[in-house]
Amino acid sequence: MFNLNCQNYKHYKLPITINPLEYGKLIIKIDNIIVSQINMTNIALIRQFDRINNVKIFKEGDFLFEYSDHIINENNFIRSLENNKFTFENNTLIRTTTEIIKKCDYKIK
């Protein structure tokens, strides 16, 4: 197991890395799909496309949430998770931005 920094998100610890093989114990790798055991109960299903890792997190077989890591270079990436963007440099969080969605409650006549 790798000694990685983790991002806490809704009390889940998400590995801060762009290398899917560092997520935890490798279960299976087929082409661009990797399944890793993060801890005793959580599994990550990672699909790699060009410079994007799409990650789905499961707990005890149930889907929890998903996010995308957009790789800028070997030291920097941006994690898109719900309406948040987390920028990492050298596996350290350096910036957080939140997209605010405003709903309009008016009628057009």
Give the count of domains, the chain: 1
Within a domain: 103: no
Within a domain: 52: yes
Q: What is the spatial order of strands in the sheet that 84-89 belongs to?
A: 25-30, 33-37, 42-49, 52-59, 62-73, 76-81, 84-89, 92-98
Domain that holds residue 18: 6-98
Within a domain: 106: no
Read off the pLDDT of residues 10-61 as tens digits, 9 standing for 90 and up.
Answer: 888 899 999 999 999 999 999 999 999 999 999 999 999 999 999 999 999 9
Within a domain: 109: no
Within a domain: 104: no
pTM above 0.85, yes or no: no
